Copies of this chain bind each other. A is one copy, B any other.
Amino acid sequence: MAFKVLAAAKAAALDKELMTICGYSIDQLMELAGLSVAQSIYKAFPPANYHNCVTLCGPGNNGGDGLVAARHLKLFGYKGLKVYYPRPSSKPLFLNLEKQLAQFEIDVISKDDEKFSRLTSELDKSDIIVDALFGFSFHPPMRAPFDRIIEEMLKAQKLKGKKIVAVDIPSGWDVNDGPINEQVSEYQPDVLVSLTAPKPAALKLSKNSRHYLGGRFISDEIAHRWGIEIPKYNGVDEVVEL
């Protein structure tokens, strides 16, 4: 399906507008974004067939969306949930998201980024991998330990058929140009969940990837002014397949 894209600079400016003029708090936006990621996963890989999910969270807001998504996945009935979060943020919002996960007895792995043994074993056990490492504000180069995490994630997909769901931007892709280097040159997520609006990198998605749009918090006025297309959502869904 054809879709309009929002360039990186505009996406950042719109995010700012949502939290100023529009009056949204980051708590609200992250909650709705993470919920839409979880709903996308439910649609693409329902818990009747897919049980174990490991969410890979980066240090920024993309990682925060992943932390929220993991909680909703638990509530949606997924059984084996793990969160791999090697560079946890010390901001109160993120500490609180971790507290919520603890309350749901979701194991957050955040201290073995040197060894990766835990990461590879969790990837092995998983059916679904959520790539919430980096979003639209990522700039190369990809630093340690994330270069290695992405390598392991791609191996799990390629060699073991694990399903990857990328949040907003596949990690290691530039928001405008797609894959930044050799390592990720063949990386195609099984599902991409674009948030607010697809970014230009989404045009590099292969035809085999499914593509959802989430973040149902944009008014017609904003959509019009920023040149965003809002497709028709079904009922009360927070996500729509493009």
Contact = CB atoms under 8 A, between A and B. Distances in A.
Interface of A: 21-25, 27-28, 31-32, 38-39, 42, 72, 74-76, 93, 95-100, 102-105, 216-217, 219, 221-222, 233, 235-237
Contact of A100 (B22, B38, B75, B93): B22
A25 B92 CA distance: 10
Stoichiometry, as copies per complex, reads 2
Given A31-B31, A219-B105, A221-B105, A100 B24 contact: yes
Contacts of A99: 21-23
25 contacts: A21-B103, A22-B99, A22-B100, A22-B103, A23-B95, A23-B96, A23-B97, A23-B99, A23-B100, A25-B25, A25-B93, A25-B96, A27-B28, A27-B31, A28-B28, A28-B31, A31-B31, A31-B32, A38-B236, A39-B236, A75-B233, A76-B236, A103-B219, A103-B221, A236-B237
Max count, chain B CB within 10 A of own CB: residue among A28, A39, A235: A28
Contacts of A236: 38-39, 42, 72, 76, 237
